[in-house]
Copies of this chain bind each other. A is one copy, B any other.
Amino acid sequence: MICPLLGPAAPDSLDDGACVPAPGEHLVLTTDSYVVSPPFFPGGDIGRLAACGTINDLAMQAAEPTYLTLGVILEEGFPLRDLARALQSLAGVLAETGMRVAAGDTKVVERGKGGGLFLNTTGLGVRRYAADGRVSSAQPGDAVLLSGTIGDHGMAVMTRREGLRMEPQILSDVAPLWGMIRELLEARLPIHALRDPTRGGLTSALCEIAAASKTGIRVRERAIPVRPPVRAACSLLGLDPLNVANEGKALIVLPAAAAERALAILRANPLGREAAIIGSVEKCPAGTALLETAIGGERQLTVPLGEELPRIC
C-alpha cells in the first residue's frame, strides 16, 4: 500500500535497494529516526517531520537533497489511515523539494512492542556550492543570523501532549529549508556556518558552533524572535525557549559585511520573514556562547542537560 501513497516522489515499486546515478562528486549522507509522540501535532506530523528533518540536515551541509530511503516500523494496531496520512504528508514535502524516494522497508512489530509508528529516513545529497556549512568555520567578525522565531515546534508537541490550550494555538514550524538555503548559496554569500537548532534548541546550536570554531559567540536576547504563546507556554512549563526544539529554522553565520544582504534574501522567503541578526562572533571567550539578557545582564549558555523534551522528533 505504501508506494502509491508516496505519490510522485516514489518509483513504481519500492524495493529495499535501488540503483541511482551518482548525483555529483561530493555526496552528503544523513540519517535520523523519528519517534515523535503524538505522531500528529498542531502544524505537522511525523511524516512531514521525517522529510523536513532529512532535507534540513542536508541543507545545513549546503547539500541539495536528491534521494531518500524510508524505513517504517509499525506497531500492530496502528491505524492504517494514520499511516497513509503521515506518508502523504512526507511525500508532499519531497515533491515540493524535488527529492525522490529510492528505497524503502517496512517492519511490523507486535502490539505492545512498538510506539505506534517510527520512521527512519536517510538522505543522500550533493554539494554543488563552495560553502560547506561546517560549524567549525565561524570566524571573529561574523554575524549570526536566525531565520525566524524559536520554540514553535517543541512547544506545539509539548502543549498537545500536556493537554494545554494556548490562544492562539501554537503550530510547529516544521518546514523544508533547502529552498531558502539555496537562495543564499546561489547569491554566493560567503557562508561560514549553518546549523538548524533542532533538539536542544538555539542554545545547543550556538554552543556547538562556538565550541567547534573555538570562537566566542555573543547573542542578544532582545533580538531573538519568540512568539507570545510560545513564551507563555514555556513559562507555564518552566522551560527556556532558547532550549526548545525547532524544525524549520536555520542559524547562518557569515561575515558582518554580508549580513544585511543575507537578511534581505531570508526575509524575501516566506519561511524567513521574521529573520533577524541576533549576534556576532568574537575571538573571546573562545568556545563559549554568551547571552546578553533582556534586562541587561549576561549569562553563559550551556547545552541543556538531560531530556528537556523527550520524543519531540
Contacts and interface: CB of A to CB of B under 8 A. Distances in A.
B110 A113 contact: no
Interface residues of A, number: 54
A103 interface: yes
Interface string A226-254: 00000000000000000000000000000
Given A60-B17, A71-B120, A132-B19, A103 B31 contact: yes
A70 B19 contact: no
A156 interface: no
A291 to B, nearest CB: 25
Number of copies: 2
Given A69-B122, A112-B112, A27 B33 contact: no
Contacts of A69: 29-31, 122
Nearest to A58: B17
A310 B114 CA distance: 14
Given A31-B104, A31-B122, A71-B33, A61 B19 contact: yes
A99 to B, nearest CB: 13
Interface string A181-225: 000000000000000000000000000000000000000000000
A124 interface: yes
A305 interface: no
Contact of A33 (B19, B34, B73, B123): B73
Interface of A: 16-22, 24-35, 37, 57-58, 60-61, 63, 67, 69-73, 102-110, 112-115, 118, 120, 122-124, 127, 132, 307, 310-311
